[in-house]
Amino acid sequence: MIKSFINYPGGKYRLMEQLLPFFPNHANRMIDLFAGSGVVTSNYNNADEYLVNDINSQLISLLRYIRDVSVDKVEEKMKQIIKSYQLTDTSKNGYDYYGVNSNKGLASLNKEGFLNLRKKYNEIDNEEEKNIILYALIVYGFNNQIRFNRYGKFNNPVGKRDFNDKMKEKLHIFSQNWKEKKPKIISKDFADIALKSSDFIYADPPYLITTAVYNENGGWTSQDDKRLMDYLDYVNTIGAKFALSNVFIHKQQINRPLIEWSRQYHVIDMESSYFNSNYHATRGSSKEVLVINYKK
C-alpha cells in the first residue's frame, strides 16, 4: 500500500486493505470527493481517469505541485529552505551531530526556524513558493500534519522530526504514482461536481459526530451531511456507483439520520485501528462503516 507524503486527520491508509476489495473492479472515472491526503486515489488502480477534489484550496494546490514538479526539484527547494531557516537535516548529518536522539526529537532545535517559516507562509501570496513552504511546514510540523485555522492560516506547531529518509521515500513513491495516474485536481464544493453514469465516487467527508482537526472549527454541519446524502442519492439515481466512509457511532454519539438513510444501501462494517469498533455506544467506542450502492 502507498502512504501519502503527508499525514491527514482521518486518513484511510490503515483501512485501505479493507476498503479496496469493496471498490468496483473497474471505473471509467474515479472521483475522490474529499481527497484529503490523496491516499485513496494512490491505492485504487482500476480507473481509466481520476478526479481529485477537496474544499481546502491550499491542500489542493500542494497536491498539484507534487503531481507536476519533479522530486529532484522538490528536494532541491527543501535544501534551500533547510539552509535558510537553519533547520536540522538528519538525513545528511544523523542525530548525533545535533546532540539528540530520535526519542527526544528535534523540536527544540527547529522551533525558531519553523515559526519564522510558518509566519512567512501565512503572509505571502506567491503560489509556487507557498507550496514548497507548506510541504516544509508539514515535514517539520507536529505529526507531519496539515492544519489550518478558520481563517486559512497554517497553525500546526513544530514537530520532532525533519526531512529524513522515510519522508523522502514517501514523497518519491507518492509523486511517481500521481505522475503516472495524472489525476485532474480541483477544489470545489462536492455538490458542484458534474457526474456521469460510468463514474465511481468515493466519499470520505468530515464525520459529523467526531471532533477531528478537520472539523474542530465547525466546518461540517448536519446540513452538510444531508446535502451529501442527497447528492449520493442522485449518484444512485443516474446509475453511477458510490462508496461512503463514515461512522454510525462515536463515543456516546449516534448519527441516526445517517443510519436511517443507509438502510436503502449496503453497509459494511470496518475494523478500524484508530477507532475502537463496537456495536454499542459505550464510552470510547466507535463504529466505522462503508456504505455502497452496488453489490460486490
Helix or strand or coil: residue 240?
coil
Show which of 146, 177, 208 is a domain's final residue: 177
Q: Are residues 154 and 80 in the same domain?
A: yes
Enumerate residues 6+ apart whose C-beta is below 8 A from 236. Answer: 242, 265, 293
Do both 77 and 92 map to the same domain? yes
Does residue 200 form part of some domain? Answer: yes
3 state SS of 99: coil
Q: Dihedral angle at the C-alpha atoms of 95, 96, 99, 101, nearest 10 degrees?
A: 50
In sequence order, the β-bridge partners of residue 241 are: 200
| CATH (domain of 36) | 3.40.50.150
User: Is 68 in the same domain as 163?
Assistant: yes
Are residue 42 and residue 116 in the same domain, yes or no?
A: no
Residue ranges making up the domain that contains 145: 61-177
CATH assignment of the domain containing 140: 1.10.1020.10
pTM (2 decimals)?
0.91
The total number of structural domains in the chain stands at: 2
* Pairing mode, strands 199-203 and 27-32: parallel
Q: What is the pLDDT along the chain (296 residues), one digit of tens a residue?
A: 999 999 887 789 999 999 999 999 999 999 999 999 999 999 999 999 999 999 999 999 999 999 999 999 999 999 999 999 999 999 999 999 999 988 889 999 999 999 999 999 999 999 999 999 999 999 999 999 898 988 889 999 999 999 999 999 999 999 999 999 999 999 999 999 999 999 999 999 998 877 555 555 557 889 999 999 999 999 999 999 999 999 999 888 899 999 999 999 999 999 865 443 333 334 456 789 999 999 98
Ramachandran quadrant class, 105 (left: phi over 0; alpha: psi -120 to 50; beta: rest): left
